[in-house]
Each structure stands twice: as C-alpha cells, then as structure tokens.
Structure 1
C-alpha cells in the first residue's frame, strides 16, 4: 500500500501476510560447478521474518536519485526502514529535512550532525538549528532488482 510520495522517496507500509513462506534450499547456490540436486533440503523462507524485525515500526521506501550510489543504494531500489532503531553515527538514515525526505549516511559527533551522501557529486549537509530536521528511521536492508 502506497503511503506517501515525496520528491526523493516513495513510502509504503508492509502488507500483513499469513504466508508460510516460499521454498528455500539451505545448501547455497554454487557460483562455480553445479552441485547434485539430491543434496537439496527444501525448507520454507519468509522474507517478512528475515527482513522485518519490528513490524509496527517498519516501512518501505523506493529510492529516487543517485546521491547514495557508492553505498550501493541505486535509483528505484526498495529500502526497508525501521523507525524504532537508534540513529547512531555511520548508519544510513531516512531523514526529513526542510520539507523533504532524503536518505543519507549519518555523521554524529560532539560538534554536530551531518548528512553525508555516498556520491562525491553531492555536498555534505551540516544540520543547524535553522533546519527543520527529523531522523525518520534507519535503513536496515535494501532490495534490488537484477
């Protein structure tokens, strides 16, 4: 369900599912020589259980833009964001800054807070008292299409 569209992110809420999961083979997938198929043991895997730790505080957002490409967050990637996690130094966070949502790496020390893009073509943002600023949530996972 689409929740909100901002300039740089589109937010979604997780859909409640009673899924028993999809088939999962716990033997690894060889990137070299193939393994015999009789060695596979089928289990069930729920991506909700793997990727979402706090369902009530978790949201999805789709990235728009290139400011985080060196952190491997590309345009159209789907972020999983947990609003219950503490925003600490070096975490990637979704922030509300002066009326817009943005995703950046947090730099927090005794001298202040900065939002650091992971692309040298974008400036580091120093947060000041004049900014309307909220750390909205911490990115826990990214889902990419291949």
Structure 2
C-alpha cells in the first residue's frame, strides 16, 4: 500500500454527525450557557425550570403579626400573632414559570427598581401596555416598561437620564416575562 494514497479524503466516523442545521451566533456567555442547557435538557415553552438551575425547596414560613407597624409615632405592640406567612406564596403565583434576576443599572429607579434589587419574573403572564418586563433586545437583557404604540413597541426607561428604546425593523426583541415583584436587600 502506498502511504501517499492512504492520506486525505473521507474517513469513517469523521466530521459532524448529521442533525438539524446550525449556524454560528455570538451570544453573551450567560445567554450561551442558558442556550446550551436548553439544548441538553430539552425545553417546553413556559417551563423555566427546564433550563435554569432552579431547585424546589420545602416551604418555610415565618410568623406574621396581625398588627401593623407605624412608621410615624410608635404604637403599642399587640401580643396577637396572625397565621404563618410563606414568602413563596406571597411572591410567586406560578412556580413553574417564575424565576428571579438581579437588577443592574439605574434606568428603572423611577419605578422603584434599584441596582442590586431582585426582580421576580413571571413567564406565564403576557405583557400588556404599561407593565414592566424582562426583555432580551438584540441578545442583551433589559428591564423596562412595555409600551404599545401605533407605530410599534417601545421599552421605556423610568429615569429621565436614560432614553426609551424604540424597537425598529431588524431588531430582535423577545419578552422573557413580566416583572411581578421587586425585592430590595437592605
């Protein structure tokens, strides 16, 4: 056998396996990791747990006092306690479609959402005019007020120092969910 003729050409089991068509796309690393997990685990629309690292935990409750606490003049405290308060029930209405994201930036301070806050996002809620959404615009996540206008969609900042984002032709917009709560850590 001539060694020159045994090189090159097709080899058995070489190259990519046949499958769905692919294309190279540049994504921010966190988004690429999510896409990789979606591909590995499979994905059903609305089931965030299928691709995010979310684990179910047992319910934990804390006592809830039946009295209110005055922020003005002090009032005598009652010894009466109301039923237990489960923060999961208070914050999450649809667990399979809910996840949280830490807020960065100051464009939503007018709506009471500050850097370092945790936004609770519900993927099962459809965006309506005036609600606050987590959107992926051209591959980057942003939290803004969703505005439907006659000429299209606008993502409005709640801080006059930041411009609103008018969605133009050719831009990719995906609404990941409606922000249902914002949690501030003091």
TM-score, normalised to structure 2, is 0.68
Structure 2 match to 1:124: 164
Partner secondary structure for residue 37 of structure 1:
coil
8 A contact 2:63–2:81 mirrored in 1: no
Larger RCO of the pair (alpha carbons < 8 Å, separation 6+): 1
Structure 2: any 5+ residue segments left out of the alignment? 1-28, 32-51
Structure 1 regions of 5+ residues with no counterpart?
7-11
CA distance in 2, matches of 1:36, 1:71: 32
* Corresponding residue number in structure 2 for 1:74: 114
Contact in 2 for aligned 1:26/1:41 (Cα 8 Å)? yes
Q: Which has the higher helix share?
A: 2
Report the number of matched residues.
Answer: 137
What is the aligned partner in structure 2 of residue 9 from structure 1? none
CA distance in 2, matches of 1:126, 1:36: 51
Checking the alignment, whether the CA contact within 8 Å between 2:62 and 2:86 is kept in structure 1 is: yes
Distance of 1:75 and 1:68 partners within structure 2? 9
- The CA RMSD measured in Å over matched residues stands at 1.8
Give, in whole Å, the separation in 1 of the partners of 2:175 and 2:162.
19
1:48-63 pair list within 5 angstroms: 48-63=88-103
Give, in angstroms, the shift of residue 129 of structure 1. 2.5
Report which of the two structures shows the higher radius of gyration computed on alpha carbons: 2
Indicate how the Cα distance of structure 1 residues 75 and 5 shifts in structure 2: closer, same or farther if over 3 A, else same.
Answer: farther
Q: Is 1:33 paired with 2:77?
A: no
Pick the structure with more strand per residue: 1
1:96–1:102 CA contact under 8 A, matched in 2: yes
